[in-house]
Amino acid sequence: MSDGILLAGNIFVDRLNEQGVSTGQIFGPINTQKLAIKTEAESKVRTSNKKATKGQALDDVKIPKPAVVTWEFDDQPAELVALALMGEVADINFAAGALADAPITMPNHQGWIETGAKNFTDDVVVKQAANELVLGKDYEFNFALGLIRSIKGGALAAGGSITVSG
């Protein structure tokens, strides 16, 4: 036996500010599989303090606990992800990047570092002093994000100054 009902409807989400007032950022409909509010209460027995009936149960007092809201859905629109991460949705559109001997100081660990541009083609040239470094051996390059990091065992493993062109 089920504890729910089958129905059809459209679920929309309205973002509220700290005062509970709508921000006007309504999005949806969200394909919701489950939306439930579960309220629980702690039960305390109230006992008598009269001399003749001391300790006898008078009644049962219910002390409410915070409600638990369960929401299951199979849509992932950008607004819903932003809501879950307490962020905002923003359009990001970068044109192809271009650099000419941009100086970058690599860290002495294999962490990613920004080059200063994005959306590179595969014609990136990385040099340390006058020596051209080898992609895949000395460094990795994320062409879309414009990120570079050294490869353990490569020429940049200990960090240092490089220039990037592309």
- pLDDT band with cut points at 50, 70 and 90 for residue 97: low
pLDDT in tens, 23-45: 888 888 888 888 889 999 999 99
Residue 3 is predicted with a pLDDT of: 61
pLDDT tens digits, 44-94 = 998 899 988 898 988 888 999 999 989 888 888 888 888 888 888 887 776
Whether the per-residue pLDDT at 102 is higher than 60: the answer is yes
Task: Specify the pLDDT at position 136.
Answer: 92
Peptide bond into 29 cis (omega under 30): yes
Distance in angstroms (rounded) separating the CA atoms of residues 124 and 141 = 9
Report the half-sphere exposure of 25 (CA within 13 A, side-chain side).
Answer: 13
Task: Give residue 99's pLDDT.
Answer: 86
pLDDT at residue 126, as a whole number: 94
Mean pLDDT of 93-115: 85
> Is residue 117 a contact partner of residue 99, using CB atoms and an 8 Å limit?
yes
Prediction pTM value? 0.49
CA–CA distance, 26 with 138 (Å, rounded to integer): 49
Cα–chain-centroid distance for residue 27?
18
CA separation for the pair 12, 14 (Å, rounded): 7
Q: Judge whether 150 and 141 are in contact, CB under 8 Å.
A: no
Domain residue ranges in the chain: 1-41+53-91, 102-165
Measured in residues, the chain has a length of 166
